[in-house]
Structure 1
Amino acid sequence: MTIKDTPEEWEIRATDTPFVGNKTSVRVDDVVMPDGSVVRRDYQVHPGSVAVLALDDADRVLVIHQYRHPVRHKLWEIPAGLLDIPGENPLTAAQRELYEEAHVKAEDWRVLTDVYTTPGGCDESVRVFLARGLSEAEGEHFEVEHEEADMELARVPLQELVRGVLAGELHNNCLVVGVLSLVAARAGDGLDALRPAEAPWPARPFEA
């Protein structure tokens, strides 16, 4: 038996979009179940996101401290952002986010993992990149606003983040997935065996 997620789509009898927001919307589908019954499923429609686990030569991860209103917490996170432009190359978006949130550029990019953040209630897919060979970016710093105006930037040893994740002290999805995936990759075939930065992403197809 091959353990691998596979695409599948059940019949939809009716669909509605009762809410359309600035970046996301809510969709309601009447879905036919295997027993023939029809049930209603509502979920958030999301453009997708990218996140960057930026690792420096001292084995520290670049993290940001940012307020997240829905959970009423200030969370430690890795740089991340929406795929605002339909069909945008996710690597381009990730490089932009690293520049805007940390004013950093990277020489080596790999795909660390792809994940559906909340598949029971949202269709968001996130591609988490590993970025190495870090250096200060050129040009002016990006002008921040709203929650980002209060954002704190730090470089934290990887093992300290692992400890915080397992202790239940760090909760951001992309940080948790990225940190533990990095540790698993090192323990496996090594970081150079990770997928290339422009590997196909069926959940969010893009132009190379």
Structure 2
Amino acid sequence: MTSQPKVIAITDMPTQEAKWITLKKIKYMDAEGKERLWECAQRTTRRSSGIDAVAVFPIIRSRTNAFPVSTVIIEQYRPPIDKFIVELPAGLVDEGETAEEAAIRELREETGYQSSEIVESSPVVVADPGMTNANMKLVILNVYLEDKLESPDQELDSGEFIVRRVVELKTLYNVLEEYDHKGFAIDAKLHHLAAGYALALKGV
């Protein structure tokens, strides 16, 4: 990067100009039979699969035990929060693509790492149902390297500036705490995973 990204202006946008999302007013009936209104944002990019996006939790292993079991996280700037965030590789599901295929593709594009082994694919989950109907799947993938840790080439699109970082699984929670102290935003999905793993290591 030649300069530090930053927000330079924020203006109201007519919904007809939006490419990725739209706003909806929902009229619904509550548990007492009273009509109420709710405002929400919806993606306009949902394909026939009904799944908006995937997040990828890669587990990187050495066939010769040359390095500890690790994962790869990414850093990138997100304009809505005007901050750099540390998060899982992720992206939208394309038409004709399963969530699992999207996860394998996004991992390759954003980190360079290749996988064809799905460990687990979550149910369709939501993250902020009070504001949006956006949904996603979390897909856990195995990445096997023959020996030492490699740094394959990323396949980033124009306008994507993604820094990848390989982290030992057992230190992931502490690494995220370090990012927080440095002023990064922490993605909720990644933090929840790291916290769960840290608790499991403690036998909780």
Structure 2-normalised TM-score?
0.69
Q: Which amino acid aligns with 1:50?
A: V
What is the CA distance between 1:186 and its match in structure 2?
7.9
Query: Whose strand fraction is larger, Structure 1's or Structure 2's?
Result: 1
Give the structure 2 partner of residue 142 of structure 1: 155
Does the 8 A contact of 1:107 with 1:134 survive in 2?
A: no
Write the deviation string for residues 169-189 of structure 1: whole angstroms up to 9, x where unpaired.
26202312333455678899x
Give the structure 2 partner of residue 42 of structure 1: 39
What is the CA distance between 1:168 and its match in structure 2?
8.4
Does the 8 A contact of 1:50 with 1:93 survive in 2?
A: yes
Give the structure 2 partner of residue 7 of structure 1: none
SS of the residue corresponding to residue 105 of structure 2 reads: helix
2:109 pairs, out of 100, 114, 124, with 100
What is the CA distance between 1:88 and its match in structure 2?
3.0
Structure 2: 5+ residue runs without aligned partners? 1-13, 47-51, 62-67
What is the CA distance between 1:118 and its match in structure 2?
0.3
1:163 pairs, out of 170, 174, 188, with 174
Q: Which amino acid aligns with 1:22?
A: K
- Report percent identity of matched pairs: 22
In the TM superposition, 1:1-208 aligns within 5 A as 19=15, 21-46=18-43, 47=46, 48-57=52-61, 58-85=68-95, 88-111=97-120, 113-114=122-123, 115-135=125-145, 141-146=154-159, 148=160, 150-165=161-176, 169=180, 171-181=186-196
SS of the residue corresponding to residue 71 of structure 1 reads: coil
Length, aligned pairs only:
167
Query: For the aligned residues, what is the CA RMSD?
Result: 3.0
What is the CA distance between 1:79 and its match in structure 2?
0.6
Structure 1-normalised TM-score?
0.68
Measured in 1, the distance between the counterparts of 2:130 and 2:198 equals 27
Does the 8 A contact of 1:53 with 1:129 survive in 2?
A: yes
Regions of 4+ moved over 6 Å: 184-188
